[in-house]
Chain A
Amino acid sequence: MGQFSSPDEQEIFCKVAKVINQKGHLEISAILKFIGSKNHKKDKKYILKFIKLALIEKHRSNTYELSRIGRLIACQDCEWFKKRYKK
């Protein structure tokens, strides 16, 4: 606890963060579709873990969004957020 257990987990988190940032609140099935998941079972497990860690929070309408801490972590750890300026 306290950090991502594997690079895979971090990659999935970054993909989820990107999709939610682009498209807003989404259901788990939609998130899996948009991140281009090849192994739904494994990726869903990761997403449920993020929910447990409160990096993603659930809304009443069964949709999910990044939590406050989730947004801060995505800001630091994800490669695509680091590209601040387009060439």
Chain B
Amino acid sequence: MGITESIPTKFTAHDVRNMDKLVKRGIYISRSDIIRTATRNTLIIDLKKETEYDKLVKTMKEKGDFDNLEGKVLSRILLEQKHLSIKDFNMSERKIVRKLIRHPAGLIKTAKGKFYLTGFGDSAARGYIKGLTHAKTLF
């Protein structure tokens, strides 16, 4: 978000408490001043500092992790309420499912023709969803 863009009017309780402290000290004249200054400061800080998470998500975006079918298939197995079988996937997804079953980390296991996620599979699916959600806020 750029500094020239509109400033949000809602703040967290933590921020408001800090503003009240400043008012009590007599540092600021009005609350609107505080709001503007505090928002500008937080925007500048946010622009400067890049968290590890941001860096990872940017790398994932560059390498095309979010466009890849592996993550989509894993998240679909996680999110669908019924346990999926091979018939529930299209041709390209079936190839990926077969690949994931053979993955050395053992991401997916099969029982009675249905697919289940293992510990690693579950983590990977949740990581994909979290990363994708965060990427939408970044790009």
Contacts and interface: CB of A to CB of B under 8 A. Distances in A.
A71 B65 contact: yes
B15 to A, nearest CB: 11
A74 B68 CA distance: 17
Interface stretch (B29-37, B80-88, B105-113): B105-113
B126 to A, nearest CB: 5
Contact of B52 (A21, A54, A69): A21
Interface of B: 45, 49, 51-56, 59-60, 63, 65, 68, 70-71, 74, 103-107, 109, 118-121, 123-128, 130-131, 134
Nearest to A73: B123
What's the dominant secondary structure at chain B's contact region? helix
B128 A72 contact: yes
Interface of A: 1-4, 18, 21-22, 52-55, 68-69, 71-77, 80-86
Contacts of A68: 63, 65, 68, 70
Contacts of A3: 118-120, 123
A80 B56 CA distance: 11
A86 B51 contact: yes
Contacts of A77: 123, 127
Nearest to A85: B51
